[in-house]
Structure 1
């Protein structure tokens, strides 16, 4: 929470029109992924990484990347996503 909220605040202060467009594209991608029940949320990752890059702070970018890598390698997250995917496919 501390990393993402700090990154979001800093990114908001430095946002350009191009950044806003990039975030809109990420949101569009997330909506499309939700519509087709994709297991890998690349749009969500892109959204958070775009915000991190908008800060202009390499340490924040590195920390956000590390958090995503930890999540990807976590057996708990894999099981949770598998469960959510199976539940949504059955509907």
Structure 2
């Protein structure tokens, strides 16, 4: 007789697609996606950190907070986009 844990793991395995090994082409595509998104993240950080420095120089605390929130939001959005694209490659 199987435990509840074993039954749950079997159901999970059935609902999840099997994780087949990645081909070399998929691995290369995943590496390219990481490079592209690392560049996008760096670009946004540079731009927003310049805005942050300008707001700090003016001691505009509302603008500082706004830019910090935007920086966190942009980073999270780009990381989510990267992971979604990588998932598409993994499924193909």
TM over 0.5: no
Which has the bigger relative contact order, CA under 8 A and spacing at least 6? 2
Higher Rg: 2
TM-score range, shorter chain: 0.3 to 0.5
> Structure 2 length normalisation: TM-score?
0.41
> Structure 1 length normalisation: TM-score?
0.42
